[in-house]
Amino acid sequence: MGKVRVRFAPSPTGALHIGGVRTCLYNYLFARQNGGELVFRIEDTDSSRFVPGAEEYIKESLEWLGIKFDEGVSYGGNYGPYRQSERRDIYRRYVKQLLDSGHAYIAFDTAAELEAKRNEIKNFQYDASTRMQMRNSLTLPADEVKKMVDSGEKYVVRALIEPNQEIIVHDIIRGDVHVNSSIIDDKVLYKSADDLPTYHLANIVDDHLMEITHVIRGEEWLPSAPLHVLLYQFFGWEDTMPRFAHLSLLLKPDGNGKLSKRDGDRLGFPVFPLEWHDPKTGDKSSGYRESGYLPEAVINFLALLGWNPGNDQELMTMDDLINLFRLDKCSKAGAKFDYEKGKWFNKEYIQKADERLLAEMMIKDAKEAGVEADLAKAIQVVHYMKSRVSLVRELWPLCTFFWVAPETFNEKDVAKRWKPETHGMMTELRSKVAEWQDYSDLEGFEAYVKEWCAEKEYGLGNVMNPFRLMLVGELKGPAMFELTSILGREETLRRMDYALSQLS
């Protein structure tokens, strides 16, 4: 076999579902590990389902995730154009070839006529059993067909499927899938109304012309595969037919059935990589990026939905995945979408992430909340606080107090920790810590305060808890002297003074 060439071929009908991202990822891993190429093709022949912005959204999502294409829409290459709506001339030739060879025919039946047939015949299917009752080039005289076509009457071109033939789809994941051709209807391959082929024809013509060697796609396309195999036969392209691999579905986290956007809404997790604003409905759907996920975590999590390396290794970089991934080891059974596991991955990746990058993300959230947070301090804060979050977006709410001094003090904490003698002790502590200069010397400062406690015979808890309460407003935050090192001398004293004026 020559060079491996695979493609990701979404239709721009809306946001890219997380299952589509996994499909693209598996294509990418397979291409990379075989030194092959990944093509980005846009399948936009169904103009009625076209959604503006969807193509850009898909591209931006995959870029964010670090999935790189070698050629295709907006990347260029020798097999273009890669947007199907720009390939009309090419498809026209192949439609003609099928008509000339008798593997397809022209049909004029209107929507109303088809509807009438459906009412007349139970389980109507346009196929060998019914096609001779319809208005098509098999039943009408040739000169009449020509006249109708020439006069601009709308028609479609249908595949002529011979009944009772065995079709075998060789699938890398599922093995040989046998299908009887009688269950397939004479699928529409081309519509004169918009001078475009349907998905089936465009898909296989392009896979052939773009020299695609492996078709890795979602299970929902398995029912189309027998027709695709037949089309390869019709064209005489059996020798270069790509190998198929139909990936199992992503399933609901709870219960059965395919993961849907509604599950995400219901259980509170995104099903799209990026936030999506539906231009038709105006609805806004959350995305992994905006919810505070790191792309590396999303990749790692998705890779393991439907495949595993055969041991219990879980944390894998893109390079690890490229080495370890095996298409033939993908599971046939659907994979439950374990959202909590996704969060776990993200937490792991946050601990490994560049602190400056995390700080920059937190600064953005601060800005949205109207606070200008400076980078140096944000990096310090992230360093001490990152172990407490699963999502980057949790950082700002957790860390706001580093920038915004408390104005009020948690009543419960005060009731518990602010005793009659506390005000006096804290006033003493205030003058004691004012004498200390180097707040960045965490250990030195801590030893200094503890020594004073020992000297005074003050219990550590009786000092540290109110001390924290004064600086944070409640009993939370990092270790005490990490806290003071970030706040610095001036701010620590300022907060103490304010607290002493408020708490008696």
Concerning whether 419 is annotated as a catalytic residue, the answer is: no
Distance CA 72, CA 189 (A): 24
- Partnered with residue 158 across adjacent β-strands are 105, 188
Report, in Å, the least distance between residue 41 CB and ligand GLU: 8
Distance CA 53, CA 12 (A): 8
* Residue 291 interacting with ligand GLU (CB under 6 A): no
- Binding mask of the shown chain, residues 383 to 422, with x at each position contacting ligand GLU by CB under 6 A: ----------------------------------------
Given a contact cutoff of 8 angstroms between Cβ atoms, the answer to whether 164 and 182 are in contact is yes
Nearer to ligand GLU, 72 or 473 (CB): 72
Report, in Å, the least distance between residue 74 CB and ligand GLU: 17
Of 68, 191, 261, 377, catalytic: 261
Distance CA 487, CA 440 (A): 10
Q: Can you read off the two tokens belonging to residue 235?
A: 């064209």
Site for ligand GLU in 186-205 (CB under 6 A): 203
Identify the residue among 4, 5, 6, 9 touching ligand GLU (CB under 6 A). Answer: 9
Q: What is the DSSP letter of 319?
A: H
Nearest CA to 382 among 369, 364, 368?
Answer: 364
Residue with tokens 């020992």, as numbered in its chain: 454
Report, in Å, the least distance between residue 201 CB and ligand GLU: 12
Q: What share of the chain is helix, strand, coil (3-state, %, to 5)?
A: 50, 10, 40
Identify the residue among 217, 252, 289, 417 touching ligand GLU (CB under 6 A). Answer: 217
Distance CA 301, CA 299 (A): 5
Nearer to ligand GLU, 11 or 422 (CB): 11
Options 3-11, 148-156, 338-346, 398-406: segment touching ligand GLU (CB under 6 A): 3-11
- Partnered with residue 104 across adjacent β-strands are 159
- The DSSP string of 423-447 is HHHHHHHHHHHHH---TT-HHHHHH
Identify the residue among 19, 22, 31, 43 touching ligand GLU (CB under 6 A). Answer: 43
Given a contact cutoff of 8 angstroms between Cβ atoms, the answer to whether 157 and 189 are in contact is yes
Nearer to ligand GLU, 234 or 244 (CB): 244
Nearer to ligand GLU, 9 or 392 (CB): 9
* Residue 83 interacting with ligand GLU (CB under 6 A): no
Q: How many residues line the site for ligand GLU (CB under 6 A)?
A: 8
Report, in Å, the least distance between residue 221 CB and ligand GLU: 5
Distance CA 107, CA 113 (A): 12
Nearer to ligand GLU, 225 or 470 (CB): 225
* Residue 219 interacting with ligand GLU (CB under 6 A): no
Distance CA 340, CA 363 (A): 26
Nearer to ligand GLU, 221 or 458 (CB): 221
Binding site for ligand GLU (CB under 6 A): 9-11, 43, 203, 215, 217, 221
